[in-house]
Structure 1
Amino acid sequence: MATNNNSKRTWMIIGGAVVLIFGGLFLAKKMEWIGKVEPTEVEFAKVSRSTIIEKVSASGKIQPEVEVKLSPDVSGEIVSLNVAEGDSVVAGQELLKIRPDNYVSLLARAEAQMNATKANMEQSKAVLAQSEARLSKAKIDYDRNAKLHKDKVISDADFDQFVSAYTVAKQDLEAAKANVNAANYNVKSSQATLKEAKTNLTKTTIYAPQSGIISKLNVELGERVVGTSQMAGTEMLRIANLNKMEVRVNVNENDITRVSIGDTVLIDVDAFSSSERKFKGVVYEIASSANSSGTASAVSNDAVTEFEVKIRVLRSSYADLIKGKLSYPLKPGMTASVEILTNRKENIATVPLSAVTTREIGAEVKEGEKKEDDGTNATNSNDALEAKKRKENTKEVVFVMEKGKAKMIQVKTGISDFENIEIVNGLKDGQEIIAGPYATVAKKLKEGDLVKKKDPKAAEKAADKK
């Protein structure tokens, strides 16, 4: 009996201890003595009114708007070179000469050949005249003897001779006419050959097709060049109009839709970077198709699709530099970086770019479950449909602090620059939002998370201790 009482007492003690432990844990949890969640330190900013200038950045080379490459149509040795790189030339000025000896000989041969064909044509005309005379005599003889044959004065054998002579005379006349036509064609062929020889001779002297500067000279006196009429030969030199310069840049396909003809451009030329001088320009041409490096023929899937944009440099932006040795301050091949001003809005509601992120709205995603941004990796139609739904549910949001917790607000954004982004709707002027740190806002922060304002002094002290 005593043993049973001791057993009950033991169980009661154990039970009381368990109740006491659980009660203590519950109280400690409620009082946040244990399991306390530390708030996430965040930075704040306010919705403010400001001006945003949307820009597209790119880099490229300075080039003349018009630059002519000169290649010869005939081959030979350069026997006269009248210009040097950097010289100014005017349209029609003689630049260089290719040895003309062979072409002079060809011209003389062509002239002789044409004279010979003309003589042959005159001879053919003389033969034609003789054939016409013989035909006329044969016809008279035929007509006279035809009457005599009808009156039975001459025999059939005698009359057949006159018929044969008349027939041969007609055939000879047709042959003589054909020879005259052939001779005429030979004369025309010779004339064409002579004209070609004269043209080739004139092509041995190279003249400037336009006024400008010799921007590049690739040949020397005595050097041999190759030229054909079917394809480009040796590039001898280039003539550029350095009064009209442009910047040719490649713009990514994600940005090209924002660029328009007439957009203002700020140009930073590396050669003038020490003076921090910026030039102004305007977009005047946008390529309709992508560069060959970004086409589907590219081997790598990571190939970037880019479009060429031509920007005219405004001469007024460097007019003060045009003096002395800097008559042409911008030279072909100079490296330049540009900022194309694609849009501008003033006095609009803006927040820091780091404050806006994306989240799925109205869709629960289990922890550890892999998200699909699109349907490219979907293994079946259900996965693709699910990925599409997730993409449609992904919205732009910002976080605000309400009663010490993060609250998510869906917003609609507009244009942006490198620091701020336009808020079209969803926030009010002066409203305080969570603006950073970037990694916290972009990936970690969730609805209902405890947050507190980051103490910059505490961060400085921690840095000093390190």
Structure 2
Amino acid sequence: MKKNKKKIYIIGGALVLLIIIISANMFREDDNSIEVEVEEVQRGTVIHKVNASGKIQPIKEIKISSTTSAWVTKITVKEGDRVKVGQLLITLDEKQHLAATEQAQSSVNSAEASLKQVGAQKKRMESLFKQKLISQQELESITAKHELAVNQLRQAKAALSSREDELSKLKMTAPSIGTVTRINIEVGEMAVGSMFQAATLMTIADLAKLEVQVDVNENDVVSISLGDTTEIEVDAFQDTMFYGVVSEIAHVAETSNFGTQEQVTNFKIKVRMLDVHPKFRPGMSANTNIITDVREDVLTIPIQSLTVRPEGYDKESGKKKGDEKEGDEDKDKKYRSGKEKKKMVELVFIVQDKPSGDKEVKGNKKGLFAIAKPVKVGISSETHYEILNGLNEGEKVVNGSYKAISRDLNHNSPVRLDED
């Protein structure tokens, strides 16, 4: 008797489980809807930004170098010192240049004495010529000697001026106020320099006026204008926002990895910083967001809501999986492979309680449908697009999941809302 009851319980439990499984399958077959997330089309502000990273650099930076080669005898400043105009920075060995200057001065003295002597001779010869005691030829000869002496004096004075200039440059002074940011030489080392190629001995920069130099892609640079407000984030100052304005846009591109698949064409942009922290240092890494456009009180949708389909895709009616021999995935592959080329259009899916058109769409317990609507977008922010036309305020657009938007949804597809 007990065994029979046990069998009855087992058979009954199995029947209940079978009924549950069959009911679940029937429900699944009847509900072919796709789970989606929605957001209402609202009015708001869209701010378009161009992001670029770079380094902080001083707006004004002066490199101190020598035009002549000499030994360094004195350095009067150290890195980090503030200097003013005319302050002595570096002194070079003067011995050879002092000797050369004295020699040039001696040449000037000799030329002056020679000119004085020839001048006296010329006066006597002119007097004798008036008395007709010498010939015209003799007068012309002494005149030529006088002109030669004058020119020799000029040459000697020019050489002296050059030597004095070289001597004065052995004492290098600050041409502008600023901070000594780098010293590249030590006392006792040779400062190698010439008029056309001189080594940098010291660098002075005005750290009160800084800029961020960034590289912007050629596709983004066309939207940037001088004076655009810029948000600046410095890596060394976390959670602190600084601001600046675009002060310079390069007219010539800089190309890297030329001739390869990684070739990149950028333009150098300079952003003058409005807030300069006293602890900023040249070379610090910074990230900029250049605000190129602001649209207020416009219709907006989430960025992820916008998708593309081949032209005419929005006319496809939602169907159950397996109702047609060629599925959406096969169509997508055909479109992407180029076998069936069509113009791509930008669109969004809105959710409403009835399908578009006269066709009856089955398999939806919730009574909601995704309707494809082509749209025209304007600028974009980090999270939203501006809608120029195609949508009305208050309509509910699908903003998730990514798989649903990019692949699963068709025009009139049955959908259900994500309850979470």
Confirm whether residue 280 of structure 1 aligns to residue 240 of structure 2. Answer: no
Alignment correspondent of 2:349: 399
Contact kept in structure 2, 1:41 and 1:451, CA below 8 Å: no
Q: State the alpha-carbon separation in 2 of the partners of residues 219 and 396 from structure 1.
A: 62
Runs (4+) of structure 1 exceeding 6 A deviation are 363-367
Deviations 1:180-214 (A, max 9, x none): 21221111111110000000000000111111211
Letter in 2 for 1:435: N
Offset at 1:293?
A: 3.1
Offset at 1:441?
A: 2.7
Letter in 2 for 1:186: Q
Q: Specify the SS of the correspondent of 2:280.
A: coil
Confirm whether residue 237 of structure 1 aligns to residue 199 of structure 2. Answer: no
Alignment correspondent of 1:293: 255
Q: State the alpha-carbon separation in 1 of the partners of residues 139 and 406 from structure 2.
A: 101
Of 79-88 and 279-288, deviating more is 279-288
Q: State the alpha-carbon separation in 2 of the partners of residues 456 and 235 from structure 1.
A: 68
Deviations 1:373-417 (A, max 9, x none): xxxxxxxxxxxxx99xx6xx4432212355365433221111211
Q: 1:106 to 1:421 in 2, by over 3 A?
A: same
Alignment correspondent of 2:233: 268
Q: Specify the SS of the correspondent of 1:201.
A: helix
Q: 1:370 to 1:424 in 2, by over 3 A?
A: closer
Q: Of 239, 242, 265, which residue of structure 2 is paired with 1:305?
A: 265
Q: Specify the SS of the correspondent of 1:399.
A: strand
Contact kept in structure 1, 2:370 and 2:415, CA below 8 Å: no
Structure 2 unaligned blocks of 5 or more? 1-25, 316-330, 356-367
Confirm whether residue 339 of structure 1 aligns to residue 293 of structure 2. Answer: no
Q: Of 72, 75, 81, which residue of structure 1 is paired with 2:69?
A: 75
5 Å-filtered alignment, 1:378-393, equals 393=343
Q: Specify the SS of the correspondent of 2:382.
A: coil
Contact kept in structure 2, 1:44 and 1:453, CA below 8 Å: no
Q: Specify the SS of the correspondent of 2:237.
A: helix
Letter in 2 for 1:265: T
Letter in 1 for 2:247: Y
Structure 1 unaligned blocks of 5 or more? 1-31, 141-165, 319-327, 373-385, 458-466
Alignment correspondent of 2:415: 452
Q: State the alpha-carbon separation in 2 of the partners of residues 115 and 422 from structure 1.
A: 83
Root-mean-square deviation (Å): 3.2
Alignment correspondent of 2:9: none
Q: State the alpha-carbon separation in 1 of the partners of residues 121 and 310 from structure 2.
A: 101
Q: State the alpha-carbon separation in 2 of the partners of residues 371 and 113 from structure 1.
A: 88
Contact kept in structure 2, 1:293 and 1:305, CA below 8 Å: yes
Q: Specify the SS of the correspondent of 1:368.
A: helix
Offset at 1:112?
A: 1.3
Q: Specify the SS of the correspondent of 1:258.
A: coil
Q: When the two structures are superposed, what TM-score results if normalisation uses the length of structure 2?
A: 0.77
Q: 1:98 to 1:198 in 2, by over 3 A?
A: same
Letter in 2 for 1:179: K
Q: Specify the SS of the correspondent of 2:112.
A: helix
Contact kept in structure 1, 2:33 and 2:416, CA below 8 Å: no
Q: State the alpha-carbon separation in 1 of the partners of residues 332 and 213 from structure 2.
A: 49
Letter in 2 for 1:329: K
Q: When the two structures are superposed, what TM-score results if normalisation uses the length of structure 1?
A: 0.70
Offset at 1:362?
A: 5.8
Letter in 1 for 2:200: E
Alignment correspondent of 1:376: none
Q: State the alpha-carbon separation in 1 of the partners of residues 235 and 332 from structure 2.
A: 52
Alignment correspondent of 1:122: 116
Deviations 1:28-54 (A, max 9, x none): xxxx99x99955544333212222222
Q: 1:179 to 1:442 in 2, by over 3 A?
A: farther
Q: State the alpha-carbon separation in 2 of the partners of residues 434 and 360 from structure 1.
A: 19
Identity %: 33
Offset at 1:173?
A: 2.0
Q: State the alpha-carbon separation in 2 of the partners of residues 438 and 369 from structure 1.
A: 19
Q: Of 96, 99, 113, which residue of structure 1 is paired with 2:93?
A: 99
Confirm whether residue 187 of structure 1 aligns to residue 153 of structure 2. Answer: yes
Q: Specify the SS of the correspondent of 1:236.
A: strand
Q: State the alpha-carbon separation in 1 of the partners of residues 233 and 200 from structure 2.
A: 31
Alignment correspondent of 2:185: 219
Q: State the alpha-carbon separation in 1 of the partners of residues 59 and 373 from structure 2.
A: 51
Alignment correspondent of 1:45: 39
Judging by fraction of residues, say which structure has more strand: 2
